[in-house]
Amino acid sequence: MAGLTLDLIGMQLFAGVALGAVYVLLAIGLSLIFGMLTVVNFAHGAFYMLGAYVGLWLMAHGGNFWLCLVLVPLVVGGIGLAVERVLIRPLYGRGIDYPLLLTFGLSYIIVELVRITFGKSGFPFDTPELLQGAVDIGVGYFPLYRLFVIGATAVILFGLWLFLERTSFGLIIRAGARDPLIVRVLGVNVAQVWLIVFGMGTAIAAFAGLLAAPLQGVIPEMGGTILAEAFVVTVVGGMGSLLGAVLAGILVGVVVSMTSLFAPEMAKVAIFALMALVLLIRPQGFFGRAGLMS
Same domain, 237 and 212: no
pLDDT tens column, 105-131: 999 999 999 999 999 888 999 898 899
- 88 in the same domain as 231: no
* 171 and 154 assigned to the same domain: yes
Residue 208: predicted pLDDT: 95
Within-domain flag for 162: yes
In this structure, are 160 and 280 located in the same domain?
no
Query: Pick from 200, 220, 240: which residue ends a domain?
Result: 220
Selected residue with higher pLDDT from 37 and 232: 232
pLDDT at residue number 173: 78
| Better pLDDT: 184 or 12 | 12
80 and 166 fall within a common domain: yes
In a domain, 201, yes or no: yes
Q: Do 156 and 228 have their domain in common? A: no
Residue 56's pLDDT is what? 94
Summarize the confidence of residues 211-234 as an average pLDDT: 91
pLDDT digits (tens, 9 = 90+) for 79-103: 999 999 999 999 887 888 899 999 9
172 with 254, same domain?
A: no
The pLDDT of residue 292 is 54
Confidence of residue 31 (pLDDT cuts 50, 70, 90): confident
Domain shared by 129 and 214, yes or no: yes
The string over 133-150, giving b where at least 16 C-beta atoms fall within 10 Å of a residue's C-beta and e elsewhere, is eeeeeebeebbbbbbbbb
The predicted structure's pLDDT at residue 290: 60
Amino acid 3: pLDDT:
59
Last residue of a domain, one of 220, 245, 261: 220
In a domain, residue 84? The reply is yes
Let me know whether 90 and 142 are in one domain: yes
**Containing domain of residue 125, as a range?**
32-220
Same domain, 141 and 235: no
**pLDDT on residue 47:** 96
In a domain, 266, yes or no: yes
260 shares its domain with 128: no
In a domain, 19, yes or no: no
Q: What is the pLDDT of residue 293?
A: 52
- Domain termination site, one of 198, 220, 242: 220
Classify residue 236: in a domain, yes or no.
yes
Q: What is the pTM of this model?
A: 0.91
pLDDT number for residue 185: 75
Please tell me whether residues 148 and 236 are part of one structural domain: no
Assigned domain for 226 exists: yes
Q: What is the pLDDT of residues 199-217, one digit of tens each?
A: 999 999 999 999 999 998 9
The tally of domains found in the chain comes to: 2
Mean pLDDT in residue range 144-170: 92
Residue at 127 is within a domain: yes
